[in-house]
């Protein structure tokens, strides 16, 4: 029964988000995708877990994304497929169950020319803390990382959720901004590259959504918080 309910909830969510997508308008403040496509460089969007709904609404079809093996991940799979994306079940953190195989699968697709999208602080946070998977992905594929925020002008915010998930209201406008492409430097550590991404996302959110940015743990503090969680 639980499995049936999970599938029903997944397909219901998928149809609702697809309908929402048709009502929303999108404005890009910055967009580096055309230039990357012209150069034949695959890219991976790095987005906050809080922006995952808006990120999916504005994303291009044909992307690959890692979806948690949790019950919440099961619910989102139909939506991913209806948007024309390929879901890979696992985690963006190689230390977690299924993480290594999921990252390998995503890396294989990116080497084949697909683009990807990752919620860098999922599935458990803390908000704004970048998991190490995206660093490995950039190192092993040479892909460009595009930090991005997608901010609805009118929205619901789940204030009790750890990520403060944002849900766009129908007929709103989504304001999208992304960083210039970031590439892994062979002289830096995976942790240093993850910090660069965290700081980039934090600055984007401060610029385009200062109220919500104030709720995000600063990148260095988020890293310390994540270490305490793993040690607990």
- CA–CA gap between residue 170 and residue 22 (Å, rounded): 9
Tokens of 136: 């490995």
Which pLDDT belongs to residue 223? Answer: 57
Give me the pLDDT at residue 94, please. Answer: 52
What pLDDT does residue 50 have?
94
* DSSP 8-state code for residue 189: -
Report phi then psi at 6, rounded to 5.
Answer: -65, -45
Please answer whether residues 127 and 50 qualify as being in contact, where contact means their C-beta atoms are separated by less than 8 angstroms: yes
- Which segments of the chain does DSSP mark as H helices, in order? 2-23, 33-39, 52-58, 71-82, 99-111, 133-141, 190-208, 210-213, 219-231
CA distance 87 to 99: 13
Average pLDDT for runs of 10 along the chain of length 232:
71 88 94 94 95 90 86 81 88 55 91 92 85 92 96 96 94 96 95 95 96 78 54 50
**CA distance linking residue 126 with residue 28, whole number of Å:** 27
Orientation angle between helical segments 219-231 and 190-208, nearest 10 degrees: 130
> What is the pLDDT at residue 78?
87
Q: Calculate helix-pair angle for 2-23, 71-82, nearest 10 degrees.
A: 40
Cα(157)–Cα(3) distance, rounded to whole angstroms?
28
The residue whose two tokens read 């999921």 is: 102
Domains of the chain (ranges, CATH numbers): 2-231 (3.40.1130)
Q: Measured between alpha carbons, how far is 83 from 15 in angstroms, rounded to an integer?
A: 10
* Model pLDDT, residue 93: 55
For residues 139 and 208, give the distance between their C-alpha atoms in angstroms, rounded to a whole number: 29
pLDDT of residue 64: 93
Name the pTM for this structure. 0.85
The stretches of 24-132 forming alpha helices (DSSP H) are 33-39, 52-58, 71-82, 99-111
């Amino acid at each position: 029964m639980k499995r049936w309910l999970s599938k029903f909830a997944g397909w219901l969510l998928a149809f609702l988000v697809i309908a929402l997508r048709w009502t929303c308008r999108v404005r890009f403040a910055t967009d580096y995708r055309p230039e990357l496509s012209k150069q034949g460089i695959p890219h991976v969007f790095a987005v906050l877990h809080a922006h995952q709904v808006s990120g999916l609404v504005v994303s291009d079809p044909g992307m690959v994304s890692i979806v948690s093996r949790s019950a919440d991940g099961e619910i989102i799979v139909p939506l991913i497929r209806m948007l024309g994306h390929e879901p890979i079940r696992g985690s963006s953190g190689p230390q977690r169950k299924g993480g290594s195989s999921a990252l390998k699968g995503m890396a294989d697709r990116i080497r084949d020319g697909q683009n990807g999208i990752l919620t860098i602080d999922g599935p458990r946070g803390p908000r704004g803390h970048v998991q190490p998977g995206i660093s490995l992905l950039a190192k092993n594929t040479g892909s460009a990382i595009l930090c991005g925020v997608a901010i609805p002008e009118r929205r619901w915010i789940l204030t009790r959720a750890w990520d403060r998930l944002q849900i766009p209201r129908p007929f709103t406008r989504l304001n999208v901004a992304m960083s210039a492409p970031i590439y892994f430097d062979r002289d830096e550590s995976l942790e240093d590259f993850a910090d660069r991404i965290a700081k980039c996302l934090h600055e984007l959110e401060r610029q385009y959504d200062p109220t919500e940015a104030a709720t995000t743990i600063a990148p260095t503090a988020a890293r310390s918080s994540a270490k305490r969680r793993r040690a607990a």
